[in-house]
Amino acid sequence: MIKSLKILIITAIIVAIDQMTKIYISRSMQLYQSFRLLGDFIRLTYVENKGIVFGIKMAHGGFFTVFAAIASLAIMFYLFRMKGEKFIARLSMALILGGAIGNLGDRLFRGSVVDYLDVEFFDITIPAFQFLFIHFPGYALQRWPVFNVADAAITVGMLLLFVFILTEKPPAEPERLGDAEMIH
């Protein structure tokens, strides 16, 4: 129980930093205002995201809010059950939970998520193509979509979880006696 409570401190820190930065940005900047921090590579750009991740529009935003609340409760419950797991597994879940709660708070109390971290990204261009009988439209990305601390925590948490899953060895199965050994 104590390990579960200690890991929730990380969740609380993520939520606190996320909310403090969002309050600062929303009170000190005008919507869509942008400031260069490192030239055009890193900027602070205040936007409000009514969609889901990366501003993807969703017809029923209320559904996503309810889903995010249920997912946050499920992650918290799971964190309490993970007390015997390795630190990286619990850390990844704590980061995901902190990010989910931070963005959920925005959706519940503001109606949209405050995003402000605006980072240059190498250009990605995928030309339109057809596979079998399906036509796929092209895609181009010149800048990463504007994000926040909660989004970064979720992303880092997911990457850590992915690394944990890939590197974790399954528990060894007890050796079974072969058929020949059982006869003797």
| Catalytic residue numbers, as ranges | 115, 151
Task: Supply the DSSP symbol for 145.
Answer: P
Contact predicate 132/86, CB 8 Å: no
Helices 87-109 & 2-28 angle (0-180, nearest 10): 40
100 C-beta neighbours (distance < 10 Å), count? 24
Please answer whether residues 147 and 18 qualify as being in contact, where contact means their C-beta atoms are separated by less than 8 angstroms.
no
**CA–CA separation, 147 vs 46, rounded Å?**
10
Which residues are CB-neighbours of 145 under 8 A, at least 6 positions away? 54, 55, 115
